[in-house]
């Protein structure tokens, strides 16, 4: 049982999506969008009561290191001394337009 969309509904959907469609395309979109809605109806009928929600299937998680200050960070003064030109502790660069 295919959903029947009117041409006005197709025009409204196209307007919401901000896409222009030709008159000859409206009939095709009536059928295509109807098929999509039929599929959504099928999905709504699926029993997912015992299915645990997931965001992804890999089970991978981000592992972050502890944020710590120490010798692993470069000496800011030494880095600034390597810059060709500095002003007030900042590296001076040419204008970017």
Residue 97 has pLDDT above 90, yes or no: no
What residue spans define the domains of the chain? Answer: 7-44
pLDDT above 70 coverage of the chain, percent: 92
CATH class of the region 7-44? mainly alpha
Task: Decide: helix, strand or coil at residue 92.
Answer: coil
- Average pLDDT along the chain: 86
Instruction: Tell me the C-alpha distance between 97 and 88, whole Å.
Output: 23
Whether the Cβ atoms of residue 30 and residue 4 lie closer than 8 Å to each other? yes
Least confident of 10-19, 41-50, 59-68: 59-68
- Region 26-54 average pLDDT: 91
pTM for this model (two decimals) = 0.48
Instruction: Tell me the C-alpha distance between 5 and 32, whole Å.
Output: 10
**Residue 88 structure tokens:** 């007030």
Whether the Cβ atoms of residue 21 and residue 10 lie closer than 8 Å to each other? yes
């Amino acid at each position: 049982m295919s959903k029947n969309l009117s041409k006005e509904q197709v025009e409204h959907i196209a307007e919401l999506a901000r896409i222009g469609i030709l008159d000859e395309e409206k009939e095709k979109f009536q059928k295509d969008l109807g098929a999509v809605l039929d599929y959504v109806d099928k999905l709504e009928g699926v029993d997912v009561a015992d299915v645990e929600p997931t965001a992804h299937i890999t089970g991978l998680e981000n592992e972050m290191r502890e944020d710590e200050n120490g010798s692993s960070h470069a000496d800011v003064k030494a880095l600034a001394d390597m810059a060709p030109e500095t002003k007030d502790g900042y590296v001076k660069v040419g204008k970017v337009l």
